[in-house]
Amino acid sequence: MSDKLKSRKFWFALLGAILPLVAQVLTEEVALAEALQLSVGILGAYIFGQAYVDGNAVAGSSDDSGDSSAASADVEEAPVEEAAEE
């Protein structure tokens, strides 16, 4: 958890989620529903972004484990057959 508190992504996501609500309270130019939608969208993007990063970190660490049965990413390309010109 302390790593998350040191993360710039976390702080920008938190500010991005709070600022629409603050703008709605201070100026009332932004509707409350719009401010909530913006905040939820920003938090959702942060959550999915972190899940993607964490998933890649786990996948990267499993590739480094030396397990050769976890098929390599090299894909053998099929030869391209050229159409016979008549």
How far apart CA 45 and CA 17 sit, in angstroms, is 11
| pTM: predicted TM-score of the whole model, two decimal places | 0.59
3-state helix, strand, coil in the chain (%, to 5): 65, 0, 35
Amino acid identity, residue 67? D
CB 44 within 8 A of CB 17: no
Domain ranges of the chain: 17-54
Task: Give residue-wise pLDDT tens across range 48-84.
Answer: 998 999 899 888 877 655 444 444 445 556 565 665 5
Output the six-digit token pair for 79: 């030869």
How far apart CA 16 and CA 43 sit, in angstroms, is 8
